[in-house]
Amino acid sequence: MSRTAHTASLDLLVAQIGFTGFAIKANTEGLTHEDSLVPPAPGINCLNWVLGHMLVARNELMEFLGLEPLWGKQEREAYGRGGPSPSGPENAMAFDRLLADLDATQQAVTEAFGRLPIGRLAEKAPFSPTNDPNETVGSLVAGFVFHDAYHAGQTGLLRRLAGREGAIG
């Protein structure tokens, strides 16, 4: 991959992470911890869980990129894929902490993308969440960016279900 193509690919990933961060900030603005725990419907996770789940993925990406993750095993297990939404404020991570950790991971991931060496995106990935034998670092990172955007979109719906006006027109 040429330097120009490599730079353009990373610029697109950084831009997408920026859009995701913007959506999360807009959709969580003015919400309370209690708002983050509003259960939308049986079997659907609340905002608190969605943000925590995003942080699980971001922490895993940080490790993959050679960064120190913010969250340990206990936090990751509480918000891992398929896990239940918190049933009340006593077993949910503080909403303010989730937002602060999202900001911190936003900055860390953005900076790490900017430091990826030329050609790293084309390298074979050391693992594949979808068991794709052809997974590359680039496709793995693109999958993370999609995952982040998917859940950022959910934050807008969960904001409305908590009784708040939409934040993005």
Q: What CATH number is given to the structural domain containing 128? A: 1.20.120.450
Q: Does a structural domain hold residue 81?
A: yes
pLDDT tens track for 60-111: 999 999 999 999 998 898 898 887 777 677 789 999 999 999 999 999 999 9
pLDDT at 8 over 80: no
pTM of structure: 0.91
> What does the pLDDT average to over 109-138?
90
Q: Does a structural domain hold residue 64?
A: yes
Bridge partners of 124, per DSSP, are 136
**Which one, of 121, 168, 153, lies nearest residue 16 by Cα?**
153
Q: Does a structural domain hold residue 166?
A: no
Q: Does a structural domain hold residue 127?
A: yes
Residue span of the structural domain in which 130 resides = 3-161
Q: Does a structural domain hold residue 167?
A: no
Provide the percentage of residues in the chain whose pLDDT is more than 70.
Answer: 95
Q: Does a structural domain hold residue 169?
A: no
Q: Does a structural domain hold residue 25?
A: yes
Q: Looking at residue 90, what is its pLDDT? A: 77
**Which one, of 80, 69, 146, 76, lies nearest residue 112 by Cα?**
69
Q: Looking at residue 166, what is its pLDDT? A: 93
Q: Does a structural domain hold residue 42?
A: yes
Q: Looking at residue 151, what is its pLDDT? A: 97
Do 152 and 106 meet the contact criterion of CB atoms below 8 Å apart?
no
CA 168 to chain centroid: 19
| Integer Cα distance of 144 and 130 in angstroms | 12
What total number of domains does the chain contain?
Answer: 1
